[in-house]
A and B are shown apart, each in its own frame.
Chain A
């Protein structure tokens, strides 16, 4: 299922302020559709904060102000007439720690579609199967959809969370260090899943792991907070291979060669 080329972001001079403290400032970059964009940088450099701007999850934390413009397929997602609830149907998210709901595998995946009005059993069955197939979990759980989600392994739970996010057919999938709580084999499976998904959905992934960014992403953005007094900024963004072989900024080079972070 190849969709139209939707789900591209354009960030123009984006800043994030918590109360009085500016955490991220002056980020301008584009996120192309149907590709994997990695956000890398040391801890506390605002990667996750920036990611949460893209589905307005920062709205759920009090006192956060987002400046600049974030355009999804040309339309400002922070405009007055945009309902964050509708935005999040188009822009899904997978979190750092697997966070399945305390219900069955089936009900986890069906939660999103049910929320958005899918009622008939056959429609739900089809969505659940397709989502689990896309998340590369179907073969492991097809016989036990009624099983409680907490009985799955950590890696399976995370792929369940990916399936759950895919079930609302988002155009963009945000992933906040989705493999950092998993073992190497599960990490490998998640990375394979991402590679399969990028043909149909735009992926923005935050990762601590530079090898991971190099392996799975098409574009990489490097963020850095150079002092505790200054907000984090975008140092460099570009084609992943170019960035890892021939970075244009000295700080990027220092980071990817492991001199800090």
Chain B
């Protein structure tokens, strides 16, 4: 066999192997979503979405559970977005490049790798006990915010870095200050990346169980009326219904899982769609 033909054969084999690997990944995702829809979608009705659980949670709906997760995510956004975006702007635009900031970046990268159950324990010790917030929506949101912060910071920093130097120079050369340049030129241009990345981070937080386990959730609770109340939440509800329920109610378990995944997917799709629309508008 000639050298050229051997190379061509090797390329064909490599292509086939990598293609198969891709198919496996797609297959797993499709099977997961397909099976979840098959088992979960039939449980979802207006009643399921709009009513509270009844009869020891074996009947009725999951409305307070959905709202619990919505509150937790909104609280997480309220804490994580301003702090994370400001920290990202500082690191990208103002911080000197030295050992100190390298250490900070390393610490942020490590924060992203800490297992979520550790955040749960940390949140329990700090927010629930030391700050005396009790097991509450606000304690859970703060804990989830800690988990989301590294994502927001990193995504902000990277989006800002991607803005070409020429654009900053253009603004500075017009006699704009650094601050105005960032505010009027750099941040708006980086906004699509920051917003989309942050939403993906938040949707991740929406599905976390461990961080809220000790900090926010209850087996059964009414809708929280203040941020200091306990709440129910979709991932935790799923967990207890699957493992701790008094009487098994599989349709509720599958329905809850379906609502969680569908909600998170919907948000992700909207975020991705919005970003690609923005990208088409702004090109360099």
Contact = CB atoms under 8 A, between A and B. Distances in A.
A161 interface: yes
Contacts of B184: 111, 115
Nearest to B178: A60
B23 interface: no
Interface in A69-89: 85-89
13 contacts: A55-B173, A57-B169, A57-B172, A86-B175, A88-B172, A93-B173, A95-B169, A99-B167, A102-B167, A102-B282, A111-B171, A112-B175, A148-B281
Contact of A164 (B166, B172, B174): B174
Interface in A151-172: 161, 164-165, 168
A102 B176 contact: no
A219 B170 CA distance: 26
A101 B181 CA distance: 11
A95 B175 contact: no
Given A95-B169, A115-B184, 7 more contacts: A88-B174, A93-B169, A93-B173, A95-B173, A115-B175, A116-B175, A168-B174
A99 B169 contact: yes
B226 to A, nearest CB: 43
B279 to A, nearest CB: 11
Given A99-B167, A102-B188, A165 B173 contact: yes
Contacts, number: 68
Interface in B86-139: none
A244 interface: no
Contacts of B176: 85, 111-112, 115
A85 B177 contact: yes
A101 B167 contact: yes
Given A101-B185, A115-B180, A60 B175 contact: no
B283 interface: yes
Nearest to B97: A62
Nearest to A87: B175
A72 B92 CA distance: 34
Contacts of B188: 102-103
Contact of B170 (A55, A85, A99, A116): A99
5 smallest CB-CB distances across A and B, nearest first, come from A88-B175, A99-B166, A89-B175, A93-B173, A112-B174
A253 to B, nearest CB: 35
A103 B191 CA distance: 14
Interface residues of B, number: 21
B171 A85 contact: no
A148 B282 CA distance: 9
B189 interface: yes
B162 to A, nearest CB: 12
A97 interface: yes
Residue of A100, A101, A112, A165 with most partner-chain B CB within 10 A: A101
Chain B CB within 10 A, most for which of A60, A87, A116: A60
Given A95-B166, A102-B282, A150-B282, A60 B172 contact: yes
B132 to A, nearest CB: 46
A92 interface: yes
B164 interface: yes
A101 B282 contact: no
A85 B175 contact: yes
Contacts of B175: 85-89, 112, 115-116, 168
Interface in B150-199: 164, 166-167, 169-177, 180, 184-185, 188-189
B181 to A, nearest CB: 9
Nearest to B173: A93
B169 A101 contact: no
A97 B167 CA distance: 10
B97 to A, nearest CB: 9
Nearest to A99: B166
A158 B184 CA distance: 21
Contacts of A101: 167, 170-171, 185, 189
A55 B284 CA distance: 26
B174 A111 contact: yes
B175 to A, nearest CB: 4
